[in-house]
Every structure is written in structure tokens, then in C-alpha cells.
Structure 1
């Protein structure tokens, strides 16, 4: 497989604190790659660098063969890279269906000229977006709450809705930030199943930061372990869980006193 994302010798400091230290790894096309590590390992920082939320100091980020180093999140969105958040960012006073319809970029109705002088084109595009939103909301299993205000949905339903929003664009790669946080086990199974389906059916590549090791074990191959701002080890979850370096990084030395 070829690489969807290449992280090359990235470094990032905040003042005198170096958070990312010569970090390099690849995310292969079509993979669901997990990223784990102890608190303070730099997971969120490297995630934000890839997503265009914060700039790196040195190094490069390559997306599908293109150098996108320090491009903005909006620019990366246009190139098919999306991210979700630990806390869902829904439009709470709009329905679940309307939240999905808001996602596609360059909507004609956003332009006042089009709204006044090309209402037919605007209406046709809105009909197309609504049709796709209905397909997506059925796909993710939220059809029964499509007309509910998004602010009234449960935490797990909001996470599903956010995952659905990534399907409203031609996304190549989705960055998932602790998608299991605050989600009950029933809805978590729905989230996991939908991620697997999107990967299988739509070819979406995923990079997942997650503390839920059961979810990582079900979803991810390979798994990257970050420690002190750089990659400690990478491999299958079974090997990672039995790796002495990883055990020590999480739990401290297991040697007898």
C-alpha cells in the first residue's frame, strides 16, 4: 500500500518545552491506524499538526503525495482531510438532518446573488444535499432522530452525527480524537461498526487516538505508540500490549525493588 499521510521529522515546541521531537511515521491508504501513548506523549499535538490546527516548527506533512506542511484546516478540508473531536461540535439549534446538510462546501445558497437570481440552481443543490443527508443518516443509524435538535441528542448520538458529517464530503482520511469518550457501550458498538463500514465500503483511511484499548484492538492495524514526542514502537496490537517498552512507559518499571 502507498501512504496517505507521511509525517517526516516533525518537531514542535511551546516556549522551552519540546512536545514533539523528531517524530516520523506513515499512515497507509485504506488503513485504520491507532495512536496510543501515556498522558503527555504528544498525541494531541501531532494530531493537531496533521489537521492544520497548529503549525509545526520543523519537518513536513505529506497528504496523498502532496506537501501540505502548515496548511490551514480549511485548506486540508478541501483536500479531503477531516477530523472529529473528543467533544462533538454540533449545531445544537439545528436538526440532525440539517447538521449534515450544512457540511458540503461551496453551497450556492451561501451567496446572496445566487439566492436572488438563481433560486432554481440553489433549490436543486439543496435537494441533492438533502437526499445525500438522508442516505447518510440512515447509514449511521440515526434516521429515528433526524428531525430532533442536535443539542438534544445523547453524547453517543452526537458522536455518530459527527462521523456522519465526514461522509457528506469526499473525505480521503478522517482523524478521530477519542471518539469513545462518554459513549455508552451500545452506541460505541454502533460507532465502531460504522468506522469499519466506512473503511470497507468507502475506502476511507482513519487515524484514531483512543484510550479504549478494546476499541483499538477491534479497529486498528497497525498501532503507533508515542512517548515523549516521538514514535516508540509500531505494530499489531497483540505485540504492542506485550512489549516491555510500552508496559514501562504506561506503568513504570516492573523490575523488583
Structure 2
């Protein structure tokens, strides 16, 4: 598979007072990849993720998304262009079913207009039927059929994470930023979660950019893995090479493994 960059970070820097959190950092997330981002505490990973997601604005440099300069755009603007960060999508509506939660995701539905509801009931019904069918297809893909009519608030932590993945599928994201996706998920459901991320990537062509504490999960899912230290990218490659790199062992793996 030939790749091109869906995210291209070019010489980006960000300072907070006297602390330079990201220092002239450049990296690429190739279309169709599952790219991991790791590094020791204080490496600048979370700041870089926030810069890419539009939560903060860089002091210098550019962020290119899908060939367009999106530096300084807000998260909701990036959402409508197809960049989703999992926690940026509203948390589940606890008193609605899993199916209803998925049906709430697409924006601009004709039923949102009171006038259309009065004047175009046929259009409204057709649109709702389409959204419902798509939600059912997503539920089938994620193997959540047994809980589709369960209130979302009653789902386990792992099932909620799967539902969150499902919400990204309702809007056909070009790239999904996964931030600590394994947090609060038991080992059994984590395997299901990882398998679904792999299926979304391999069968549906989703691109993922991942920060994660769990190095086993990073090793399973991600190629390439990008390593940051002191606000800079210091290495990139498959996990087998990353683990064997003396510079990384000194900067990262010489201490207890964390990827905050």
C-alpha cells in the first residue's frame, strides 16, 4: 500500500512561559497507517496532540491536514473536515440506548429543523431510516448487537470505548486521534478494542494516530512508532527497532515505561 501524509506537522514549537513543551518538531502520519506516539513523561506528546487537534495554537510552524494548512483551526472545524479525537466526541448519553447514541452523531440532519419537520416529513423519515441503518451496520461491525438496546450508562468501560469508536464511524473520519484508549478497559475487552481498531484500519481504511500508556498495545497496533523526548522527535520506526535503539533506551526505556 502506498501512503501519503494525512497529517504533516512542520517545524512546530509551543512554549508555556519559560518551558518549551514542543521544540521545532516535524512528523507525518501517513494515510492508512496506525501511527503511535510515545516518549517519557514531559516529552511533549500531549502538547503535540493538542496542537494537532486544534485545542491549542502553535507559536510557530504549520499543521497540514489532508493537504490543507489548518494551523490555528478549532477542534469543531477540524471535526467537520474529518479529524476526530475520541474524547472530543460527546460522552455517551447515559439515558439513551447504544443505538440511539450512534444515531445522534451525524450533524446537519434534516430533523434538526422544525420547519422541515412540518413541511418535509417524508425527507425526515428517509434521513432517519438511513442514519438508523448506518448505526445498525456500525453496531454489527463492532459486534455490539447484544447491547444495542441497552442504556449507554449501563455499558462497561470497554463497551463504552467501543461505542466511542462507533461514533467515529458514523461520520466517516479521515483520521482518528486515540488518546489513552486502553484506560479503564479490562484485558479481555481491550483485545476486542484492539481487534476492532485493526479491522477499521485494514477493512475500512481508517487512519489512526495513537498516544497510549500500554506498550504492548502500541506494539500490536502501531507501525510506525514515533518517539519524542524534550519536545522533539528523536526516532521513528517499527516497535522492534524502537526497543533496540540505545538512544531511546536511555531517554525512555531506561526508566519505568510510561507514555503520558
The answer as to whether partners of 1:85 and 1:179 remain within 8 angstroms in 2 is no
Distance in 1 (alpha carbons) for counterparts of 2:90 and 2:223: 25
Other-structure match for 1:166: 168
Map 1:20-169; keep pairs closer than 5 Å. 20-85=22-87, 89-169=91-171
For residue 201 of structure 2, the aligned residue among 195, 199, 202 is: 199
The answer as to whether partners of 1:86 and 1:179 remain within 8 angstroms in 2 is no
**1:251, CA displacement in angstroms?**
4.8
Distance in 2 (alpha carbons) for counterparts of 1:152 and 1:54: 34
Is there any run of 5+ residues in structure 1 with no aligned partner, and where? none
Calculate the TM-score normalised by the size of structure 1.
0.94
Structure 1 pair 93/194, CA: closer, same or farther in 2 (3 Å)?
Answer: same
**1:95, CA displacement in angstroms?**
1.2
**1:86, CA displacement in angstroms?**
10
Q: Secondary structure of the residue that 2:87 maps to in structure 1?
A: coil
Matched length = 253
The answer as to whether partners of 1:85 and 1:178 remain within 8 angstroms in 2 is no
The answer as to whether partners of 1:86 and 1:177 remain within 8 angstroms in 2 is no
Other-structure match for 1:216: 218
Q: 1:26-67, CA deviations, whole angstroms, 9 ceiling, x for partnerless residues?
A: 111111111111111111111111111221111111111111
Q: 1:66-93, CA deviations, whole angstroms, 9 ceiling, x for partnerless residues?
A: 1111111111111111111399822222
**1:213, CA displacement in angstroms?**
1.1
Q: 1:105-162, CA deviations, whole angstroms, 9 ceiling, x for partnerless residues?
A: 2111112211222222112111110000011011111111111111111111110000
**1:22, CA displacement in angstroms?**
0.7
Distance in 1 (alpha carbons) for counterparts of 2:54 and 2:236: 24
Instruction: Confirm or deny that 1:176 pairs with 2:178.
Output: yes
Is there any run of 5+ residues in structure 2 with no aligned partner, and where? 256-260
Other-structure match for 1:3: 5
How big is the alpha-carbon RMSD for the aligned residues of Structure 1 and Structure 2?
1.6
For residue 241 of structure 1, the aligned residue among 206, 225, 243 is: 243
**1:16, CA displacement in angstroms?**
2.4
**1:15, CA displacement in angstroms?**
2.4
Structure 1 pair 72/135, CA: closer, same or farther in 2 (3 Å)?
Answer: same
**1:102, CA displacement in angstroms?**
0.9
Structure 1 pair 159/187, CA: closer, same or farther in 2 (3 Å)?
Answer: same
The answer as to whether partners of 1:30 and 1:204 remain within 8 angstroms in 2 is yes
The answer as to whether partners of 1:88 and 1:158 remain within 8 angstroms in 2 is no
